[in-house]
C-alpha cells in the first residue's frame, strides 16, 4: 500500500518540478514566478515539489540529518577534509559539508515561493479551505527551513518571496528576530492544517507537526513556557494518532552475543516503521520511481561484510554514556562489569548501535584481530542451512574498516541488504518529527521553566519504559531532572541529527568538544579504572593516562565565538556584498 502511495506522489512531484527546473541556478535569486500556479493541480504539484526539495540535502549520499551527529562527541566519520574540520575548528568558507545546507535550503525556499507568491491569484478557483491549507503547508515548509538555517548559520537573509536578480543584495536578519518570525508564522497557520495527514504517509505537514516545530523553536530560543505550552498542544492533538511504538521482540537480544539473534528497530526506523508506526509525525519521503529521489545511506552505514563501507559510527565516549540496566551510570552500577562491558546495559546500546560480539546485517561483528573468521548467518536466514557459515572477517582486515570501532544500527534496514553497495540505492524514508522527541521537548521545557509536575516524569518514563529501563525515581530536583533529560536526549535521539544543536544551546560545546574523543578501532579490552565518572551532562570523564593507552584518540577543538556557527559560503559573500561572514572565518 505504501509503495503504491509513493508512486502516486512521485508522478505529482515530477509534474511539479517541470515548472521549477530553473531553481537550481542561484540559491538567493529565484526566477520570475510569472503566473504559476494557474490552477489547483499546479498548486498541489508545486507544493509536492517543495516537499521533495527537502530530500536533496545530503552528504556522502546520506540524508544530512543522519550525518550531523557524526561531527559531535557521539559519532565519528572517516577522517577527511569534509568531516574532521567540524570537530577541529577548521572549517573553511568553501568546505562542502559546512556550505551545502545553505545552498540547499535556499533552493527549497525558492520552490516554496514559486507557488506561494501567486497563490492568492487562485482565490475563486480553489475552495477557500483548500487554498488556506495549501498556504499553510507552504509556510510550514518555509518555517522549518529557516529553523534549520539559523541553527547552523545564525542570522541569515530572511526572504518571504522570490527576489529578482537585481534586488538580491540582502543582508542578514538577526537569528532572534527570525526565531520570533517562525513562531508567529506557526501560530498563524497551525490550525489551518489537518490534524493528521497519514493519507499521505505523513509526508505532508499536520497541525501536530506545526505545534511541535513551534515548541522546538521556542525551546531552542529559551522560551520555555511557550515551548511547554506548544508541546502540550501537540501532545493533546496526537491523542489516538501518535504514540511511542514498542520495540519488537529483538530487544531480548540486547546485551547478548551474535548467537542469540540480531537486534532490529525496523518496526520504527525501517520500511515497516514508516509504513505503520504511529511514532512518526512528519517524514521525508524517498521514491525510487522519481529520478534522483533515493539515497545510499545503507552503503555508508553498513559493515564491510554487510556490503558497506563503515563510514561512520558511535564513539567510545557515546558507548560509555549508556547507563547500566539498573538505571545508574556504569561508574556507579553494581551490575556493570568492565570485563563484559556490553552486558546489563540500557538496551538502546544494542538497538541503536553495533558493537563487537553482536550480529549486524546477518554477520557476526568483530573488530579485534583475534577474530580471523566470523559467523555468516545468511544461510540460516535464507533457510538453506541450520547452521551459520564461516567467512573471513573483512570487518577487521579492511584498511577502511570502522574508524571508531562501532557502527550505527538505528537507520539501517536489513531489508535493503540486497541493494546495499556502491551502486545501490534505497528509498527508505527519513523521519523529521518523532513523538519521542516531542515528549522530550515537553519535559525539557517544563524542567527549565521549573514547572515540574508528574507530567514531566510521565513524558520521560514513557521513553525509558519502552526501552525496558527503570523509571525515574520521584522527588528529583530540577538539576537531577535536567541530568536525566539530557541523558535521554543523548541516547534516544542519537543519530537523528540533534546532538550538535544540544551541545551549543546547553552551553557545553566548549567543554565537550575540547580535548580528546576516544575510539576503539581494535576492540581493545578496558578496565573500570579507565572511567572516572559520568558527569551531569551524561558524558564520560576518563583517566586520560589509562584511556590513551587503550583507545585511539581524536583531538577535538572548539573555539568560543567562532564554532557556534558554520561559515557562510564564500560564493554568497561575493555575490551579495551586504551579507557579512560569520565571526572567525
The per-residue pLDDT for range 442-489, each reduced to its tens digit, is 999 999 999 999 999 999 999 999 999 999 999 999 999 999 999 999
Q: Does residue 32 carry a pLDDT above 70? A: no
Q: Does residue 10 carry a pLDDT above 70? A: no
pLDDT tens readout for residues 538-569: 999 999 999 999 999 999 999 999 999 999 99
Q: Does residue 14 carry a pLDDT above 80? A: no
Share of the chain above pLDDT 90, in %: 90
pTM for the structure as a whole: 0.94
Instruction: Report the pLDDT value the prediction gives residue 28, as an integer from 0 to 100.
Output: 43
Long-range contact list for 374-377, CB < 8 A, 24+ apart? Answer: 374/305, 375/258, 375/259, 376/305, 377/258, 377/262
H helix runs in 329-449, sequence order:
348-352, 378-381, 394-397, 435-448
Q: Does residue 240 carry a pLDDT above 90? A: yes
Task: Name the band, by pLDDT with cuts 50, 70 and 90, for residue 33.
Answer: low
Q: Does residue 326 carry a pLDDT above 80? A: yes
**C-beta separation of 472 from 457 below 8 A:** yes
Instruction: Report the pLDDT value the prediction gives residue 7, as an integer from 0 to 100.
Output: 35
Pairing relationship of beta strands 407-408 and 430-434 according to DSSP bridges: unpaired
pLDDT tens readout for residues 482-513: 999 999 999 999 999 999 999 999 999 999 99
Q: Which residues contact 574 (CB under 8 A, 6 or more apart)?
A: none
pLDDT tens readout for residues 214-232: 999 999 999 999 999 999 9
Q: Which residues contact 325 (CB under 8 A, 6 or more apart)?
A: 255, 335, 344, 345, 346, 347, 468, 469
* CA distance readout (Å), 270 to 79, 280, 431: 28, 12, 10
Q: Does residue 26 carry a pLDDT above 90? A: no
Q: Does residue 273 carry a pLDDT above 90? A: yes
Domains of the chain: 40-192 (1.25.40.390), 200-241+432-506 (1.25.40.900), 249-428 (no CATH)
Q: Which three cell numbers stand for residue 16?
A: 511539479
Measured torsion, CA atoms of residues 426, 428, 429, 432, in degrees rounded to the nearest 10:
-100
What phi, psi does 58 have (nearest 5°)? Answer: -145, 175
Instruction: Report the pLDDT value the prediction gives residue 491, as an integer from 0 to 100.
Output: 98
Long-range contact list for 33-36, CB < 8 A, 24+ apart? Answer: 33/113, 33/114, 33/117, 33/118, 33/162, 34/118, 35/118, 35/121, 36/114, 36/115, 36/118
pLDDT tens readout for residues 365-410: 999 999 999 999 999 999 999 999 999 999 999 999 999 999 999 9
Q: What share of the chain is helix, strand, coil (3-state, %, to 5)?
A: 45, 10, 45
Mean pLDDT of the chain: 93
Share of the chain above pLDDT 70, in %: 94
Residues 180-209, mean pLDDT to the nearest whole number:
97
- Of 195, 554, 270, 301, nearest to 429 by C-alpha is 270
**C-beta separation of 468 from 347 below 8 A:** yes
Which of 15-24, 267-276, 327-336, 352-361 is the least confident region? Answer: 15-24
pLDDT tens readout for residues 36-79: 999 999 999 999 999 999 999 999 999 999 999 999 999 999 99
Instruction: Report the pLDDT value the prediction gives residue 113, as an integer from 0 to 100.
Output: 98
Pairing relationship of beta strands 312-314 and 75-77 according to DSSP bridges: antiparallel
Residues 311-319, mean pLDDT to the nearest whole number:
98
Instruction: Report the pLDDT value the prediction gives residue 44, as an integer from 0 to 100.
Output: 97
Is 181 in a helix, a strand, or coil?
helix
Residue 128: Cβ-neighbour burial (10 angstroms; 0-12, 13-18, 19+): exposed
Instruction: Report the DSSP beta bridge partners of residue 533.
Output: 541
Amino acid at each position: 500500500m505504501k509503495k503504491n502511495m509513493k508512486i502516486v506522489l512521485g508522478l505529482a512531484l515530477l509534474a511539479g518540478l517541470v515548472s521549477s527546473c530553473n531553481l537550481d541556478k542561484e540559491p538567493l535569486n529565484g526566477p520570475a514566478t510569472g503566473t504559476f500556479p494557474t490552477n489547483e493541480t499546479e498548486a498541489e504539484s508545486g507544493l509536492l515539489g517543495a516537499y521533495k526539495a527537502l530530500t536533496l540535502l545530503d552528504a556522502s549520499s546520506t540524508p544530512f540529518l543522519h550525518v550531523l551527529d557524526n561531527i559531535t562527541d557521539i559519532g565519528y566519520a572517516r577522517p577527511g577534509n569534509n568531516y574532521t574540520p567540524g570537530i577541529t575548528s577548521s572549517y573553511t568558507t568553501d568546505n562542502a559539508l559546512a556550505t551545502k545546507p545553505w545552498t540547499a535550503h535556499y533552493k527549497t525556499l525558492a520552490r516554496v515561493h514559486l507557488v506561494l507568491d501567486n497563490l492568492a491569484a487562485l482565490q475563486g478557483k480553489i475552495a477557500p479551505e483548500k487554498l488556506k491549507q495549501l498556504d499553510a503547508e507552504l509556510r510550514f515548509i518555509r518555517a522549518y527551513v529557516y529553523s534549520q538555517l539559523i541553527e547552523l548559520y545564525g542570522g541569515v537573509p530572511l526572504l518571504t518571496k522570490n527576489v529578482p536578480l537585481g534586488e538580491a543584495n540582502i543582508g542578514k536578519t538577526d537569528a532572534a528576530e527570525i526565531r520570533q518570525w517562525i513562531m508567529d508564522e506557526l501560530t498563524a497557520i497551525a490550525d489551518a492544517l489537518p490534524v493528521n495527514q497519514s493519507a499521505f504517509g505523513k509526508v505532508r505537514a499536520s497541525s501536530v507537526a506545526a505545534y511541535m516545530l513551534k515548541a522546538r523553536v521556542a525551546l531552542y530560543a529559551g522560551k520555555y513556557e511557550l515551548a511547554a505550552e506548544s508541546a502540550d498542544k501537540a501532545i493533546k492533538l496526537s491523542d489516538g494518532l501518535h504514540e511511542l511504538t514498542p520495540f519488537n521482540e529483538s530487544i531480548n537480544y540486547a546485551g547478548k552475543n551474535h548467537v542469540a539473534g540480531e537486534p532490529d528497530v525496523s518496526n520504527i526506523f525501517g520500511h515497516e516503521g514508516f509504513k505503520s508506526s504511529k511514532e512518526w509525525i512528519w517524514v521525508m519521503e524517498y521514491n525510487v520511481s522519481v529520478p534522483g529521489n533515493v539515497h545510499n545511506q545503507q552503503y555508508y552505514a553498513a559493515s564491510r561484510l554487510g556490503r558497506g563501507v563503515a563510514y561512520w559510527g558511535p564513539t567510545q565516549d557515546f558507548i560509555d554514556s549508556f547507563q547500566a540496566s539498573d538505571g545508574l551510570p556504569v561508574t556507579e552500577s553494581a551490575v556493570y562489569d568492565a570485563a563484559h562491558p556490553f552486558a546489563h546495559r540500557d538496551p538502546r546500546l544494542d538497538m541503536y548501535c553495533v558493537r563487537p560480539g553482536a550480529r549486524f546485517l546477518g554477520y557476526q561483528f568483530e573488530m579485534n584481530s583475534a577474530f580471523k573468521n566470523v559467523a555468516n548467518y545468511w544461510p540460516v536466514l535464507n533457510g538453506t542451512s541450520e547452521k551459520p557459515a564461516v567467512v573471513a572477517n573483512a570487518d577487521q582486515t579492511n584498511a577502511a574498516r570502522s574508524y571508531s570501532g562501532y557502527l550505527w544500527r538505528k537507520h539501517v534496514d536489513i531489508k535493503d541488504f540486497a541493494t546495499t553497495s556502491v551502486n545501490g540505492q534505497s528509498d527508505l524514508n527519513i523521519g523529521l518529527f518523532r513523538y519521542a522527541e516531542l515528549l522530550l521537548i515537553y519535559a525539557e521545557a517544563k524542567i527549565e521553566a521549573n514547572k515540574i509536575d508528574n507530567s514531566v516524569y510521565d513524558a520521560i518514563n514513557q521513553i525509558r519504559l519502552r526501552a525496558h529501563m527503570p523509571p525515574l525515581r520521584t522527588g528529583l530536583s530540577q538539576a537531577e531532572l535536567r541530568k536525566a533529560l539530557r541523558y535521554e536526549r543523548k541516547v534516544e535521539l542519537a543519530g537523528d541529527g540533534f546532538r550538535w544543536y544540544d551541545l551549543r544551546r546547553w552551553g557545553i560545546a566548549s567543554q565537550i568538544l575540547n580535548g580528546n574523543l576516544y575510539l576503539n578501532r581494535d576492540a581493545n579490552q578496558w578496565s573500570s579504572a579507565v572511567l572516572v565518572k559520568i558527569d551531569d551532562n551524561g558524558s564520560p570523564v576518563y583517566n586520560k593516562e589509562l584511556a590513551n593507552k587503550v583507545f585511539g584518540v581524536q583531538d577535538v577543538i572548539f573555539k568560543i565565538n567562532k564554532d557556534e556557527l558554520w561559515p557562510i559560503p564564500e560564493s554568497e559573500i561575493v555575490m551579495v556584498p551586504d551579507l557579512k561572514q560569520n565571526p572567525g572565518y
